[in-house]
Structure 1
């Protein structure tokens, strides 16, 4: 039996700490319930933080801004396999994610819209 004699206060979690706990829960083989128990929080709170992260409402300092991603430059395409000249001059960006998902956007795409699309693909 636990007797609480004083006023129970809610803990204030810094975004950095939330992200650290979320990263721990994302490790291969990690169980949300065990991570939550280890940090003395409810599983529901952990899921809430995860939803905040996916919606872009949870970020720390520079993480909210631009990020550098690895780029792979492939060999030039042989002329016989090259697309027509019109397609080569079309200013498009192609992003291939590790799972094989490919996103092609025009040069005029809004950065915020592209960020939302990529965030949705991570789910």
Structure 2
């Protein structure tokens, strides 16, 4: 009789170490992302310190860069003006702002806290249409 005939044909593996799913607030995610941009700190070190994967941290950095944490994406109001004057129903934006004149009939005002990469994409879209 061979030894392999006495071994069970099927084995049952049990998993006893279950991983809990953690929930991070947007403020915690932003704090960790900002920590990952520090001088002399590698992304892998920050991920290890907070017990998250590097891919998770890359995702959070992408979301933070594109303004997807917190209030969500921001939108600007774009008005077409006829004679270069601002209509009466438009309130003055809070200072400081960046104002871009795109010709005699179009002016773009960008608040200081707005994502400049998103503003560049908006400007590129406006330039293609005109």
Gaps of 5+ in 2: 1-13, 75-95, 120-130
Q: Shift of residue 55 of structure 1?
A: 1.5
Compare the two structures and name the one with the higher helix fraction.
1
Aligned to 1:39: 50
Q: Which has the higher contact order (CA 8 A, sep 6+)?
A: 1
Displacement over 6 Å in runs of 4+: none
Aligned to 2:100: 105
Aligned to 1:54: 65
Alignment of 1:1-123 (within 5 A): 5=16, 7-59=18-70, 105-106=100-101, 108-109=107-108, 111=110, 115-116=114-115, 118-119=116-117
Q: TM-score, normalised by structure 1?
A: 0.50
The total of aligned residue pairs comes to 82
CA RMSD of superposed structures (Å): 3.9
Task: Kindly name which structure, 1 or 2, has the bigger radius of gyration based on alpha carbons.
Answer: 2
Gaps of 5+ in 1: 66-94, 96-102
Aligned counterparts of 2:110 and 2:61: Cα–Cα separation in 1: 23
Q: Shift of residue 7 of structure 1?
A: 4.3
Q: Shift of residue 13 of structure 1?
A: 0.5
Aligned counterparts of 2:46 and 2:19: Cα–Cα separation in 1: 22
